[in-house]
Amino acid sequence: MDSEESFLHGLPTFTPACLRLSNVLMERIIRLLPTQADRYETCMIHPVWTTAAMNILWEWPRFPNENAIRAFLNTIRKHKRLALAVRHLNLCSNNAPVSQHQNNSNNDNDSNENNAFQLSTRLVLDQHEAYQDSPLASPLVIMTVLQQCERIDTLSIYGWQLEATHLRLIATYLSQLHSLRIIGSPSATAGNSSGSGNIKGIVLPPLAASTLSKLHLYADYTMLPSRYMELESLRVSLSHPDSLDKLCRGHQHPLPKVRELMMADTGILLPGDIDSIFNMFPQLEKLAMEDVKHPIASSCIVQSESLKHLIIRAVTDNNAHDDDKQKQQQQQLVQPENSKNNEKEDDDDSTYPQSVLHSIFIENCRIQDSHFQRYTFNVDRLTQIRLHNCPSLTDDCFIRLCHDEMIPLEELEIVGCIHIGNPTVRALTQSPIICTLRTFEMRYSGHLRPEDAFEFINAASAYQLSRVIITGYPNISNSFLGRYSVEKGLVLDQAKIQSLIQHAKTPKDRTLTSDQVVKLAKALDVDVRYLEILMDQIQVIFLSVFLSCHTEKKALNLCRGWLFV
């Protein structure tokens, strides 16, 4: 090391222009590098660049294990300059297990806006349950880090052991905080995230209210949104009886900056509840509701003039579904006016404004065809439909969609919908939707024949189709379609789709009689003798190619025999 330093100090004083750049410019350049590894290598290139590279590296520290976190704690205690360089800090484990049934978009990566919107609160809590008592969840560790790293913009922490006093200290220590994610709370556990309605929740104190724009609570804190007027993205639990009232009612001013709202433990939402949500958040573009209980006021949702992305998740439970249905009928008997209002809300399609929905994701929901049709009625911008485990939906909803609506659908995903199958695929094949569809996925749903699947792929391949996934169908996997799959089941990328179509266009082998040869010559308006000569020449060419290949194969086999003598 000493020899390397002496060598560098012994270099001529003249340096290239790139080494005379200011530290600010170097930081901008290094920030453009794609990975932390690239930024780390920049530290080794030249001592002039080390300071700038270190500053950028420390903006977003990564911890592959607990030993790395211990080293981080020791470093920030000794070097305040490095602690002040930290801007984005994730004190939650990156080693949380991922469910096998988890789809690709639903991974525990809250740093990406689309992923954060699609994340399931229940799944995140289950993944991190094992860390409730780990050092990462210790208030002492968390508060020590926050006290040293005072310029954090983005923070992710465990809330399992945090009390209200600890939460107040966050606002004291971090005056520039823009994004906060808390996983877990003292009154909730990952195992009963939806069963804590009888426990009084902690009211979230003000947290850097003047700067906080993103607040994601994977916990059952009760919050007052009027304390956070700069919010743009909010995730909250409605597990307590008064959670919805505190979220949407009794506030002097709405929150016009909120574009993204995700609610867990939603339960039953009446039309008045939906109206309150959109009144409180009038510019809402993304709405995700988890643990929803049917019925959902679909007409109130589609009437929003700003909503572009909608996620509805329920928990499939036959007993709970029957109990909810009985409770709903009892409530309608006690309050007949509410029942009439509900019917009126969902009665007339012609009164709906033009919907601006871009994507719909419905999971584990006993939604009926009529309700689904309301979500897709009068939409001309819908590009994505994802349906997971919706046992009450049938082919009728898609047949009507294909016949009645002109939508630029690009992605269609149907998983575990047992009454959606052949008729839907045939309707798609014959509809204008085939011109815009890029991705088609069907898993373990209704009956599907290989012929219908091929006709659909053949029709869509002429336009923009680039990916097809059909799994859970042994009849298709074992057919000629399965030979082109790149994975188990039927998984086709764009190259495999084109190979399949080209093979299908190859004519079948045929044998002609002498009479048929004469008729073929007459149809082609050529002499019979000329046609025979032409056919003989083609056969000779084919035979020579076949023999050459056969000879090469024999030679290879002979060589292989020499190797093993």
Digit-coded pLDDT (tens) for 418-437: 999 999 999 999 999 999 99
| Confidence band, pLDDT 50/70/90 cuts, at residue 362 | very high
Could you tell me if residue 389 is inside a domain? Answer: no
Q: Could you tell me if residue 524 is inside a domain?
A: yes
Domain span holding position 528: 515-544
Q: How far is CA 255 from each of CA 209, 229, 288, 357, rounded to the nearest angstrom?
A: 13, 6, 17, 21
Residues 266 and 272: beta-carbon distance below 8 Å: no
The reply to whether 522 falls in a domain is: yes
Q: Quick check: is 540 in a domain?
A: yes
H or E segment at 313?
strand 309-313
Is the confidence at residue 70, as pLDDT, over 60? yes
In tens, the pLDDT along 226-285 reads: 888 889 999 999 988 888 888 888 777 899 999 999 999 999 888 889 999 999 999 999
Query: What is the tally of structural domains in the chain?
Result: 1
Task: Report the alpha-carbon angle 453-105-283, nearest 5.
Answer: 110
What is the distance between the alpha carbons of residues 27 and 25, in angstroms, rounded to a whole number?
Answer: 5
Mean per-residue pLDDT of the chain = 80
Q: Name the amino acid, one letter, at 267.
A: G
| Four-residue CA torsion sign, 321, 325, 331, 335 | positive
245 touches 276 (CB < 8 A) = no
- Secondary structure of residue 383 in the 3-state scheme: coil
Alpha helix stretches (DSSP H) within 312-354:
318-334, 336-345
Closest CA to 353 of 303, 404, 401: 303
Asked whether residue 525 is assigned to any structural domain, the reply reads yes
* Band of residue 544 on the pLDDT scale cut at 50, 70, 90: low
- The verdict on residue 537 lying in a domain is yes
30 or 476, greater pLDDT? 476
Residue 221 lies in a domain: no
**Average pLDDT of the residues in 501-519:** 81
Is residue 191 in a domain? Answer: no
* pLDDT for residue 203: 74
User: pLDDT band at residue 196, thresholds of 50, 70 and 90?
Assistant: very low
CA gap 42, 53 in Å, rounded? 6
Query: Which range scores top for mean pLDDT: 300-304, 371-375, 410-414?
Result: 410-414
For residues 122-138, average pLDDT: 90
